């Protein structure tokens, strides 16, 4: 019987990289949508007036309302 041990620091296995759809730069984090849209924080702040309205933001690609964290 095998028992899976919980690894305390098992986050490094999957290194995810985001690429901003606006400035095309690759970053460790982007605001992202399940449709594949990704935007970096700098571009997000620049386009804030158009895509966010408080605690949520709207994906400009698919129109889905996303929560900000």
Q: Which of 20, 31, 38, 57 touches Zn ion by CB under 5 A?
A: 20
Regarding 17 and contact with Zn ion (CB under 5 A), the answer is no
CB 31 within 8 A of CB 38: yes
Rank residues 15 and 24 by Cβ distance to Zn ion and give the closer one: 24
Q: For the residues of 9-31, what is the DSSP string, one character each?
A: TTTSSS---EE-TTT--EES--E
Regarding 43 and contact with Zn ion (CB under 5 A), the answer is yes
Q: Which residues bind to Zn ion, rule: CB under 5 A? A: 20, 22-23, 33, 35, 37, 40, 43, 59, 61-62, 64
């Amino acid at each position: 019987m095998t028992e899976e041990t919980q690894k305390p620091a098992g986050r490094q296995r999957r290194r995810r990289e985001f690429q901003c759809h606006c400035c095309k730069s690759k970053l460790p984090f982007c605001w992202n949508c399940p449709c594949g849209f990704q935007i970096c924080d700098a571009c997000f702040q620049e386009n804030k007036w158009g895509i966010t309205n408080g605690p949520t933001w709207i994906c400009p690609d698919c129109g889905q309302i996303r929560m900000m964290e």
